[in-house]
Each structure stands twice: as structure tokens, then as C-alpha cells.
Amino acid sequence: MNRLKTIILLASLTALLMWAGQVLGGSAGLWFALVAAAIMNIGAYWFSDKIVLRMYHAREVNQGQAPELHAMVQDLAIRADIPTPKVYIIPEEAPNAFATGRNPQNGIVAVTEGLLRILDRREIAAVIAHELGHIKHRDTLIMAIAATFAGALSMLANAAMFGSLFGGGHSSEDEEGGSPLTGLLGVILAPLAATLVQMSISRAREFMADEAAARFTRTPLSLARALRKIEAWSHKVPMHAGSPATAHLFIHNPFSAAGLTSLFSTHPPTEQRVARLMAMEAGQLEVAA
């Protein structure tokens, strides 16, 4: 169900981008949006991992520097049937982790120093298994594409707004463009709708990665305990580096703020994730292959 939901949502983003381009700029706007999205996707495919690792000052560690961590990652990668990813450590006290890389052959798992100190061995393994689930499902690429579409829509809306301020846009006799009211609604609603779709895709992929972690470790409750600890510590020790734009990468949003509705959340509520994991432990919820 989560895979089908992701396909539908990505298709929705594509349709939304094409509609916004057509409404805001006619056929020229449509082609501009598609070309911009293609260029941004290429950039995200090749460089997003390097950018995010540099943003968080992550450093690669070899087997000699972190033998237990490497052994854990290697064992779980075998269970996940993917190549062993590179391992990075982030100099942050907040317990958290993320995966990146354009495909399983170039996968990277990054964990914070705080995660290694605060969680026990089974909980760390569960978090790493969750991140390997993202790599196996190519979630890093899917989310980069979703973010790119959302970014292209925002850029298109900003260009349309800038053009309208200086008397640009379509005349009333231009058959290709929409009405001024439609154009204004597009400027306002298209980026908002894209953000909602992007967040929905992110939440769906988190559920899939939780299921993968339960399958790889065979101990769903270990991830449940880890998620509760990470959430509790995120309120005590905030993440210092990075940007909220990268929140979807982490196992728990390190930039969550009170007052935001669930529609704008990059992750499902922790209690909902924990409840699903407990149901898996009890055999009440089937774990997808």
C-alpha cells in the first residue's frame, strides 16, 4: 500500500508541475518547469549526498576506527541483500541517523555521536536497519526527486510572481495563459500542494523503512525503543548543524517544532510508528517483503 501510495503521489507531483507551468506561463511555462526539474534532478542525483554530508560535517570512518559499527552495518547489509554502505559519523550530541546515496551501490549510512552513546547495541542495530531499508528501497533518490519537483514548483511560482510585479505575464487576450485569478491561485497553491505531497511521500517511506528494520533485525521492539529515546532526546538536545530542508533524511525529524500540523510533518507521529512496530511484534501486522 505504501509503495502504491508513493507512485500515486509522485505522479501527482508531476501532474501538478505540468499544470502549474501551463497556468502560470502557458506552453513556455510548462517547458520551463520541465527543463528546470530535469536539471535539478540531475544535480540531486549526482551531488545531493556530498552536499548533505558536508552540511553536517560528517566524517567517514573505516573498519579500524569503528570495528563494531562496521561489523554491525556489514551484517545487516547481508540480511538486506545490498552492498555494504560506507559509514559516516556526525559530530552531534543529538541521537539521530540518516541514509544517502543515489543507489544501493553508492549507499551511505551516517549516525551521530549521540546515537552511539545513548542507544544500546540492539537499538543502534535497529536504527541502522531502518536506514538500510531506505537504501534498499531507493528512498534517498525518491525523496530527492520529490524535493526537486517541489523546488521547481516554488521557483516557477516565484518567477510568475516576479513577472507580475513588473507587468509581465499573459495579456487578457492570450489564449495560452489562464485568467489572472487562476494564475494568482496557482502561485499560492501550487508550492503548498507540492509541499503537502512531498511530506506525504516522506511519511509513507518511513513506514516502509520501519517494516524493513523489523524484518532485518527480527526485533521490532528494538526500533520502537530507539524511536522513543530519539524523540525524547530531540527535545533536550537540538541539532545544531544542517537545515530543516534535510529533515526528511533523518530517522526522526531533528527540526520538528510545536504547532505544526501532521500534514506538514516529514515523519509519522512516533507513537503511531511505535504502535505499528508493537503490532508487528505481536503478529497482528504483516511485514511486507
Least confident stretch, 82-86, 230-234, 239-243, 262-266: 262-266
Residues 6+ apart with CB under 8 A from 73: 84, 85, 87, 109, 128, 132
Residues 15 and 22: their CA atoms lie apart, in Å, by: 11
Q: For residue 84, give the DSSP letter.
A: P
Contact predicate 108/86, CB 8 Å:
yes
Q: State mean pLDDT over 208-235.
A: 95
pLDDT at 150: 65
Looking at residue 109, its pLDDT comes to 97
pLDDT in tens, 183-207: 555 556 666 666 676 677 788 889 9
- Mean pLDDT of the region 139-163: 66
Q: How far apart are CA 151 and CA 159, in angstroms?
A: 12
Decide: 251 and 277 in contact? Cβ < 8 Å.
no
**Higher-pLDDT residue of 275, 266:** 275
Rounded CA gap, 18 and 25, in Å?
10
Lowest mean pLDDT among 14-23, 87-96, 160-169: 160-169
131 classed as catalytic: yes
Q: 202: Cβ–Cβ under 8 A, 6 or more apart, which residues?
A: 143, 146, 248, 266, 267
At 283, the pLDDT band (50, 70, 90 cuts) reads: confident
Which residues have C-beta within 8 Å of that of residue 127, sequence separation ≥ 6?
Answer: 97, 111, 115, 119, 213, 223, 226, 230, 251
Sign of the Cα pseudo-torsion (75, 76, 82, 88, in order): negative
Catalytic residue among 60, 92, 93, 131: 131
When mean pLDDT is compared across 3-7, 231-235, 251-255, 269-273, the lowest value belongs to 3-7
Give the closest residue to 88 by CA, choosing from 121, 113, 125.
113
Q: What is the mean pLDDT of residues 110-123?
A: 97
Order of strands, sheet of 86-90, starting from the edge strand that comes earlier in the sequence: 59-60, 86-90, 108-112, 97-100
Most confidently predicted of 26-30, 171-175, 180-184: 26-30
- The answer to which of 1-5, 57-61, 211-215 has the lowest mean pLDDT is 1-5
Answer whether residue 226 shows pLDDT above 80. Answer: yes
Residue pointed to by grid coordinates 530517522: 251
For 110, residues 6+ apart whose C-beta sits below 8 A from its C-beta are 53, 56, 58, 87, 88, 89, 90, 97, 98, 99, 100
Domains of the chain, residue spans: 2-281
Stronger pLDDT, 270 or 180, i.e. the higher one: 270
Is the pTM above the cut of 0.75?
A: yes
Rounded to an integer, the average pLDDT of 167-183 is: 48
